[in-house]
């Protein structure tokens, strides 16, 4: 069944939420600027409780549960999840798929629902990586793709539609500090995907040896043709 929007004014009031502020905040600001330049009325928020009433609320980097009272402020409440929903619900789907050896990562825009990641599908896109990109590079690519998806949704001339998810869901667990551990008996080449997804500051790669723990930082050296 296709669900249709009952009202779609020419100028939409749009909230963009990154709560708490973090890696997505610059992208949220960029999206708001781009939407305002296109004639829409967009604002960013770093606290869900402050979300304005309007037509659209994009919850693009939020860790807390959004109450029904806050969701009632907007006609469309949307998130973007990096998996082929209903497959890959849960935590850190981009990271888990890179660890599975995938470099083509789906992005799915869905409506917010009571059950996590179970909302109706509004839009699908794909991220395509080459296999050398590190955490920051992949985040930047994903952040820009999310901006593009949200802009396209918010500026469309006709009322949006959505369709329910279809199929049995699968789940990714929350990542823990231990998930960044390197196996010193394995080569770096076999563990390169793990090195790609670690955060040098928040959850760096590490290994334990002789009663001590050592952390590693990884950066990709830019060759002249990359610059």
What number of residues does the chain have? 227
- When pLDDT is averaged across residues 196-210 and rounded to a whole number, the result is 95
pLDDT for 226: 63
DSSP 86: T
Indicate whether 6 pLDDT > 70. no
Nearest 5°: the CA angle 141, 143, 148 is 95
> What is the three-class DSSP state of 171?
strand
Average pLDDT, the chain: 94
pLDDT for 222: 78
- At the topology level, CATH places domain 177-226 in 3.10.25
Q: Are 141 and 133 in contact (CB under 8 A)?
A: yes
Q: How far apart are CA 159 and CA 42, in angstroms?
A: 18
On whether the 3-172 domain is CATH 3.30.70.270, my answer is no
pLDDT for 5: 52
pTM for this entry: 0.92
Indicate whether 7 pLDDT > 80. no
Q: Are 48 and 19 in contact (CB under 8 A)?
A: yes
* Residue that has been written with the tokens 């995907």 in this structure: 193
- When pLDDT is averaged across residues 5-30 and rounded to a whole number, the result is 91
> What is the three-class DSSP state of 139?
helix
Q: What percent of the chain has pLDDT over 70?
A: 95
Indicate whether 221 pLDDT > 90. no
Q: What is the domain partition of the chain in residue ranges?
A: 3-172, 177-226
> What is the three-class DSSP state of 28?
helix
pLDDT for 227: 56
Q: State pLDDT tens for residues 121-161.
A: 999 999 999 999 999 999 999 999 999 999 999 999 999 99
């Amino acid at each position: 069944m296709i669900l249709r929007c009952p009202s779609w004014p020419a100028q939409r009031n749009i909230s963009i939420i990154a709560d708490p502020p973090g890696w997505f905040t610059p992208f949220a600001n960029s999206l708001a600027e781009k939407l305002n330049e296109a004639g829409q009325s967009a604002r960013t928020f770093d606290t869900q409780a402050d979300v304005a009433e309007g037509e659209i609320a994009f919850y693009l980097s939020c860790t807390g549960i959004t109450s029904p009272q806050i969701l009632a402020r907007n006609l469309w409440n949307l998130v973007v999840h990096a998996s082929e929903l209903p497959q890959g619900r849960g935590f850190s789907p981009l990271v888990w798929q890179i660890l599975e050896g995938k470099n083509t990562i789906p992005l799915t825009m869905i409506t917010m629902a009571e059950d996590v990641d179970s909302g109706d599908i509004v839009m699908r896109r794909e991220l395509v990586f080459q296999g050398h990109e590190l955490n920051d590079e992949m985040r930047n690519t994903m952040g820009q793709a999310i901006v593009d998806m949200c802009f396209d949704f918010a500026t469309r001339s006709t009322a949006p539609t959505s369709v329910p998810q279809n199929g049995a869901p699968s789940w990714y667990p929350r990542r823990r500090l231990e998930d960044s551990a390197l196996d010193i008996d394995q080569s770096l080449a076999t563990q390169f995907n793990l090195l790609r997804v670690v955060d040098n500051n928040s959850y760096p790669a590490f290994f334990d040896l002789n009663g001590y723990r050592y952390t590693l930082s990884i950066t990709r050296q830019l060759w002249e043709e990359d610059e």
